[in-house]
Amino acid sequence: MRSPSWTWDELLLICSRVVDNNWRQLRTYQGATEELADLLRSLPLHESAARMLPEFRSPASISRKSADLITNRPGYARQATRGGQLTSLIAEAFTTRESEMMMAAHAIEEGISSGELIKVPPQPDEVDPDGYAAQEGRLLARWAIFRERNPTLRKRKITEARHLGMRIQCEVCHFHFADAYGPIGQDYIEVHHLQPLHISGPRETRLQDLAFVCANCHRMCHRSHLGSPWRTPDVLRAMMPMSRKAL
């Protein structure tokens, strides 16, 4: 058995350390590289059999991958190593959106160190139909989807809306389930975070952090498109044709 291919989350964490190291290669003899190896081995992304391999996410493999990230960075003057497409995408993302990517890396590390991310089971929509994970990382997408499916939180949001006399409908397309399906659709709706997890941080979700969305709009809020893996109801509504906004 060979070590599995690198994932977006793993390369994101490595590149965050490369940035902290002023875009210099991580060396095997550095204590920080050993610590990173332990972190990568702990991520709930691969089968347990892979973690038993001696070379799995070893300091040496991390050092080599850090060199790939450096040489595949846009504007690198010398010849790039053959790190693969995902490596190039990560290097470009850190070059153009360093602050956002660093926040994502810190959120993953905080989730792992607190034990919260280890407890979250894989979610059906953490990878889109094309096989790509959200650009903030598969683990953060998993965590966000899991939190949005919390039935207690959703129920509290609906109770608050009813108390305030609000119509419980999609905040993007204004679809109302009871209007379409009768009593079976009464008070049925999904909720979506108004900030992605890597920006809000893994704090306790407040009701004001959530928006009502129908299932279709919820998928579109999370779908990767033109480099963006997440959007608010307002942003998604602005993307809709004018004929649909008028409904």
Q: How many angstroms separate the CA atoms of 247 and 113, rounded? A: 46
Over residues 204-237, the pLDDT tens digits come to: 778 898 999 999 999 888 776 655 667 889 999 9
pLDDT of residue 159: 95
User: How large is the greatest C-alpha to C-alpha distance in the chain, in angstroms?
Assistant: 66
Give the phi and the psi of residue 103 in degrees, each rounded to 5: -65, -40
pLDDT of residue 163: 94
Q: How many angstroms separate the CA atoms of 40 and 14, rounded? A: 9
Question: Is the per-residue pLDDT at 129 higher than 60?
Answer: no
Question: Is the per-residue pLDDT at 131 higher than 70?
Answer: no
| Comparison of pLDDT for 89 and 195, the residue scoring more | 89
Q: How confident is the model at residue 123 (pLDDT cuts 50, 70, 90)?
A: confident
Task: Report the mean per-residue pLDDT for the chain.
Answer: 88
Over residues 44-56, the pLDDT tens digits come to: 999 888 888 989 9
Question: Is the per-residue pLDDT at 91 higher than 90?
Answer: yes
pTM summary value: 0.80
Nearest to 227, CA basis, from 94, 64, 69, 93: 93
Q: How many angstroms separate the CA atoms of 125 and 146, rounded? A: 10
Q: How many angstroms separate the CA atoms of 143 and 213, rounded? A: 18
pLDDT of residue 216: 92
Question: Is the per-residue pLDDT at 141 higher than 90?
Answer: no
| Count of beta carbons in the 10 Å neighbourhood of residue 154 | 18
- Please, what's the b/e burial string for 77-108 (b: 16 or more CB within 10 A of its CB; e: otherwise)? eeeebebeebbbbbbebbbeeeebbbbbbebb
Question: Is the per-residue pLDDT at 142 higher than 70?
Answer: yes
Average of per-residue pLDDT across 35-45: 95
pLDDT of residue 162: 93
Over residues 58-81, the pLDDT tens digits come to: 999 999 999 999 999 999 989 989
Average of per-residue pLDDT across 134-159: 85
